[in-house]
Structure 1
Amino acid sequence: MKGFIIYSRKENELTEKRDYSVSRLMAAAKAKGIDLDIITPNQLELVVTRSDKKSILIDNKPTSIPDFVIPRLGSDTTYYAFAVIRQLEHLGVYVCNGADSIAAVKDKLHMHQLLAYSNLPTPKTMLVKFPVDIKVVRREIGFPLVIKNVTGTQGSGIYLCESEEKFTDIMELVYSNNEKANIILQECVQTSLGRDLRAFVLGGRVIGCMKRSSDVSFKANFSRGGHVEAFEPTPEIEWLATETARLANLDIAGIDLLFDHDGYKICEANSAPGFHGMEKAIGKHIAEDILDYITLKTGINAGR
């Protein structure tokens, strides 16, 4: 069984701390007898032809298409990487997750539209239009509020803004640097400041759930120093997580939930979720579960 991980760094550049999830997948594949290689987008040449549907160009050499591909670029997926992933899908390769699913999750506003129009609980969200009308922001969102880049991961590009004065200063700074910046505003769910939940969904079921918390920041990401502990998923958590993954057609998903007064709100979805914190909280089995799921989906024996 042959597979590729599409990632930003080659195998000899990986470190356990920075690239934990990819390193774990590589080790688990080796233990299972799966031939798994890391391919960066820059190694691939995209040639669209109807004559050869059994190979692709890697480092300028024709290479047989793999049985499966795991994209691990998440919100950093470029247009070129999307094109490569779509090409592999057209060639009949099983891609976990597909290009359309990654694109849907990468655009945070689109994802919130999808969730809200499916009647799922999410923070009230507003797209910024420059120049910003502070009266509309005050009326529709209120303060404090959360400012987010439309794309971003691991807590990057997310800011808590407590007052109108700070908000005006931040928007002026953003506008002066990029008047076409895509920024969204969200209501601040104050009952969840400094804590949230991450549910790991694989193949339509929750295989792990953890609570993340921080003593120093309103962002509780493990990658930013947050504390993690196992959390028993309730039926509500399982439904919100699996339904979010289903709407975006994600085989693998990290679904972040906020603690609300009477339940939970969906914060965001991740198409290439890291699982260092999850395995620290619940034990090491996420990488193995992913590969077992892919083996089941493709119907190919791991050692083939």
Structure 2
Amino acid sequence: MKIWILAKKKTFDSFENRRFQEEAKRTGVELQMVAPEEFDIIVTKEGRKSILHNGNPVDLPDCLIPRMGAGTTYFALAVIRHLERLGVFVLNSSQSIETAKDKLATLQILAANNVPIPKTMLAKFPLNIDFVEKEFMYPLIIKTVSGSYGKGVFLCENRAQLEDIADLIEISKDPKINVIIQEFVTSSKGKDIRVFVVGGRAIGAMLRTAREGKFKANFSAGGTVALFNLNPPVEWLAVELAKLVGLDVAGIDILFDGNGYKVCEVNSSPGFEGFERATGLNVPQEIYNYIRVRLEGSL
């Protein structure tokens, strides 16, 4: 079984990619790390399609695993789409990655399907603070529409903080920065649940807890992790969300909301260092096993 992992070159040696390489070596998977900029795509009106790697024709893999998540560029998406159209099994699809990297688009899909989510508003600038205060109570959350590992997420506890962040965003004048304002779910302050879904199955979950005095529970932001025993509501939410967004592999973040739960966001290329530490599960093995099942009969 031949697999490519599509990632930024600077992340080739990340924990996750090292784990994929270790498990590939252990199980006999032929694995190659590739970066988007190494490819050239040719499409002609006659319908001939080709893809070159480092300027040369290349034998295509059985499967492509994109590992760029919210950092997936237009060019990277084009490479993923091209390989899909050449018949390569892609995990996850270009469409699901594009949807998942847009937090507002994901929430719109969930709301349309009656999935519980925090109240959310797309911000426009200059920000009408009075209008925001009519719709939301402090504290509230400000997020960039695209982001991961807890980056681009801010807690505003009062009007002065909201004004300062709004001024900073407006001064940047970056048209690519889109921001959402979100209800702060107080019962989940400093903690959340990360569920890992592979092939329509929740393989496990962990409880993430923020450092003292912080509100971001991400392991990458210094939070602690522990095993969370999956219960039916959490498992259903995670699996349903992955299905609605079209993701075969997903990290689903779920908030505590009183006696229930709300979905925070979805990740198409979730990190799993903390997850493996908390659960003892072998994530690359789970993903490789799923790929073998999907490709059964074609290898």
**What number of residue pairs does the alignment pair up?**
296
Equivalence for 2:250: 253
Mapped to 2, the partners of 1:199 and 1:277 lie a distance apart of: 12
CA offsets 1:214-237 (integer angstroms, 9 cap, x no match): 133100111111100000011000
CA offsets 1:28-52 (integer angstroms, 9 cap, x no match): 1111111110000011111124575
State the 1:111 CA deviation: 0.5
Q: Residues 80 and 295 of structure 1: is their aligned pair in 2 closer, same or farther, counting only changes over 3 Å?
A: same
Pair 1:278-2:275 in alignment: yes
State the 1:300 CA deviation: 5.4
State the 1:14 CA deviation: 4.1
Alpha-carbon contact 2:40-2:53 (below 8 Å) kept:
yes
Amino acid of the structure 1 residue aligned with 2:41: L
Alpha-carbon contact 2:123-2:181 (below 8 Å) kept:
yes
Query: Within 5 A, what are the aligned runs for 1:61-140?
Result: 61-140=56-135
Mapped to 1, the partners of 2:186 and 2:202 lie a distance apart of: 26
Mapped to 2, the partners of 1:169 and 1:113 lie a distance apart of: 28
1:229 to 214, 223, 226: 226
- SS of the equivalent of 1:114 reads helix
State the 1:3 CA deviation: 1.0
TM-score, with structure 1 as normaliser? 0.94
Alpha-carbon contact 1:125-1:141 (below 8 Å) kept:
no
Comparing 25-34 with 42-51, greater Cα deviation is found at: 42-51
Amino acid of the structure 1 residue aligned with 2:74: Y
Equivalence for 2:288: 291
- SS of the equivalent of 2:277 reads helix
Equivalence for 1:2: 2
Alpha-carbon contact 1:56-1:65 (below 8 Å) kept:
no
Pair 1:43-2:38 in alignment: yes
Mapped to 1, the partners of 2:136 and 2:291 lie a distance apart of: 42
Q: CA RMSD in A?
A: 1.5
- SS of the equivalent of 2:43 reads coil
2:141 to 142, 146, 150: 146
Mapped to 2, the partners of 1:285 and 1:44 lie a distance apart of: 31
Identity %: 46
Equivalence for 1:242: 239
Mapped to 1, the partners of 2:160 and 2:28 lie a distance apart of: 59
Gap regions ≥5 residues in structure 1:
none
Query: Within 5 A, what are the aligned runs for 1:11-22?
Result: 14-15=12-13, 19-22=14-17
Q: Residues 300 and 30 of structure 1: is their aligned pair in 2 closer, same or farther, counting only changes over 3 Å?
A: farther
Mapped to 2, the partners of 1:136 and 1:262 lie a distance apart of: 30
Pair 1:189-2:185 in alignment: yes
Equivalence for 1:267: 264
Mapped to 1, the partners of 2:31 and 2:264 lie a distance apart of: 33
Mapped to 2, the partners of 1:109 and 1:207 lie a distance apart of: 26
Query: Within 5 A, what are the aligned runs for 1:153-172?
Result: 153-172=148-167
Alpha-carbon contact 2:197-2:248 (below 8 Å) kept:
yes
Mapped to 2, the partners of 1:121 and 1:97 lie a distance apart of: 24
Gap regions ≥5 residues in structure 2:
none
Alpha-carbon contact 2:209-2:225 (below 8 Å) kept:
yes
Mapped to 1, the partners of 2:281 and 2:245 lie a distance apart of: 26
Alpha-carbon contact 1:56-1:64 (below 8 Å) kept:
no
- SS of the equivalent of 1:102 reads helix
Alpha-carbon contact 1:201-1:251 (below 8 Å) kept:
yes
- SS of the equivalent of 1:113 reads helix
Mapped to 2, the partners of 1:82 and 1:191 lie a distance apart of: 37
Amino acid of the structure 2 residue aligned with 1:247: L
